[in-house]
């Protein structure tokens, strides 16, 4: 289980981590375009009956196509957990920051949706490490907060969304009193 394809961590010290602040990935392109099937499965998960997700006529008239739920933004760029050529897809840049923590939990997220994403859009993302905090102790354990900025683009280069995420990369406190 620990050799999960998308969740292989880089390990190192806080000093190692600071070397990665400011690092930006080259654009990474989604394996497939935004699709009605994924739009509707996510809407079904959230129990969201918004016709922007379900009614192609309405969605096309008002938004230019079935709308990719804003909350699914990050999901369009998550690689498949298995690919036929065996090349392991890269993990998100945040967990490739070398640090001691063996696990993580998301702390906060701020996103701006400049232009609606619609069915057929092929998205790409550039990820950047904005900051790494000094060591902090929380109720979950001891670790570091990592801030990243993801810039999402269509294949015509138009920026459609910006996503600022902060996650806590940590080692759990052994006697954790529950989440």
Partner 1 sequence: MADDTGDTGFRRLDWHTLTVPVDLPEIVDEISYERVVMNAGATWDYFPGHFDPEYAKRQGHPTIFVNTMHLAGFVDRIATDWAGPYSRVVRRKIALAGSIYAGDTMIGRGKVIGKRCNSSGSKPQYLVDLEIGVSNQRGELCCPAELTIEILED
Is the CB of residue 161 less than 8 Å from the CB of residue 113?
yes
Shortest spacing between CB 22 and partner 1, in angstroms: 23
Candidates 8, 22, 50, 83: give the one binding partner 1 (CB under 8 A): 50
State how far the Cα of 52 lies from the Cα of 39, in Å rounded to an integer.
Answer: 10
Shortest spacing between CB 53 and partner 1, in angstroms: 9
Q: Using the rule CB under 8 A, is 33 a contact of partner 1?
A: no
For 41-79, the three-class secondary structure string (H helix, E strand, C coil) is HHHHHHCCCCHHHHCHHHHHHHHCCCECCHHHHHHHHCC
Shortest spacing between CB 30 and partner 1, in angstroms: 10
44 vs 159 by CB, closer to partner 1: 44
Query: Binding string to partner 1 for residues 152 to 171, with x set by CB under 8 A, is what?
Result: -------------x------
Candidates 72, 93, 146, 160: give the one binding partner 1 (CB under 8 A): 72
User: Where would I find the H helices in 9-156?
Assistant: 14-18, 36-46, 51-54, 56-63
| Interface with partner 1: number of residues (CB under 8 A) | 52
Question: In angstroms, how far is CA 164 from the centroid of its own chain?
Answer: 10
Tell me the window of 9-17, 104-112, 124-132, 151-159 that interacts with partner 1 (CB under 8 A): 104-112
For residue 172, CA distances in Å to 102, 104, 142 come to: 8, 9, 7
- Can you tell me which residue has the tokens 């080259």? 26
Whole-number CA gyration radius for the chain = 18
Site residues for partner 1 per CB under 8 A: 1, 4, 6-7, 38, 41-42, 44-52, 58, 61-63, 67, 69-75, 78-81, 103, 105-114, 116, 140-141, 165, 172-173, 176, 178-179
């Amino acid at each position: 289980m620990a050799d999960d394809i998308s969740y292989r961590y880089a390990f190192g010290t806080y000093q190692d981590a600071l070397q990665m602040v400011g690092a930006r990935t080259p654009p990474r392109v989604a394996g497939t375009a935004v699709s009605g099937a994924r739009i509707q499965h996510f809407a079904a998960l959230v129990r969201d009956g918004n016709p922007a997700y379900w009614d192609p006529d309405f969605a096309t008239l008002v938004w230019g196509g079935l709308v990719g739920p804003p909350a699914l933004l990050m999901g369009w760029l998550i690689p498949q957990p298995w690919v036929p050529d065996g090349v392991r897809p890269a993990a998100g840049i945040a967990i490739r920051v070398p640090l001691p923590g063996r696990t993580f939990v998301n702390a906060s997220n701020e996103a701006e949706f400049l232009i609606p994403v619609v069915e057929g859009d092929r998205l790409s993302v550039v990820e950047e490490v904005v900051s790494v905090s000094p060591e902090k102790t929380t109720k979950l354990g001891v670790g570091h907060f990592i801030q990243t900025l993801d810039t999402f683009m269509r294949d015509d280069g138009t920026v459609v969304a910006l996503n600022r995420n902060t996650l806590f990369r940590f080692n759990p406190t052994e006697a954790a009193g529950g989440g």
